[in-house]
Amino acid sequence: MIYSRKVFFYETDAQGIVHHSNYPRYFEEARGYFLEKNGLPYEKVRDELKLDVVLLELIVKYKKFLKFGDIFYIKMYPKVLNKYFFKFEYILTNQNNNIICTGETKHCFVKKENKKMLSIPKEFLRIIEQNTIR
């Protein structure tokens, strides 16, 4: 799945380029898009399933930069690590297909009321299986 959008002016810094702190936000937007497009939006996870998705690790490797008005694309690759943990790998490119940065996030699910970690729900395992590159 690919998420894309245009860089807004407020995301840039004094040098006119996207501030480094925005790339993790872009990853989060892409995750939300991924879940929504696969029938499991955050609202359903939180309100119907009574779960929260917790971010445990974040890695970003910067290679180039974006600037105001650039269009970018994020390719996401979900992966189950074990019965409790899963991750997403990201490749963010610009409109010329140059790699701007890569990243990874590691997550788990917790019960909303007590924050106790639980195994990955079947609904989510199905979505990851459907989106795994073979």
Tell me the two tokens of residue 33. Answer: 């898009």
Comparing C-alpha atoms, which of 132, 131, 118, 106 is closest to residue 38? 131
Looking at the structure of the chain, the number of domains it has is 1
Amino acid at residue number 55: L
Alpha-carbon span 104 to 11, nearest angstrom = 21
| Residue 60, domain extent | 2-130
Q: Are strands 99-111 and 2-6 parallel, antiparallel or unpaired?
A: unpaired
Amino acid 129: pLDDT: 85
Q: What is the CATH number of the domain that holds 31?
A: 3.10.129.10
Comparing C-alpha atoms, which of 105, 73, 65 is closest to residue 88? 105
Comparing C-alpha atoms, which of 74, 83, 95, 80 is closest to residue 32? 74
Q: Phi first, then psi: what are they for 120, rounded to 5°?
A: -65, 125
Comparing C-alpha atoms, which of 10, 1, 3 is closest to residue 29? 3
Active site residue 70: no
Amino acid 83: pLDDT: 96
Alpha-carbon span 38 to 40, nearest angstrom = 6
Q: What is the pLDDT along the chain (134 residues), one digit of tens a residue?
A: 899 999 999 999 999 999 999 999 999 999 999 999 999 999 999 999 999 999 999 999 999 999 999 999 999 999 999 999 999 999 999 999 999 999 999 999 999 999 999 999 999 999 988 887 64
Amino acid 133: pLDDT: 65
Catalytic residue (choose from 13, 47, 52, 70): 13
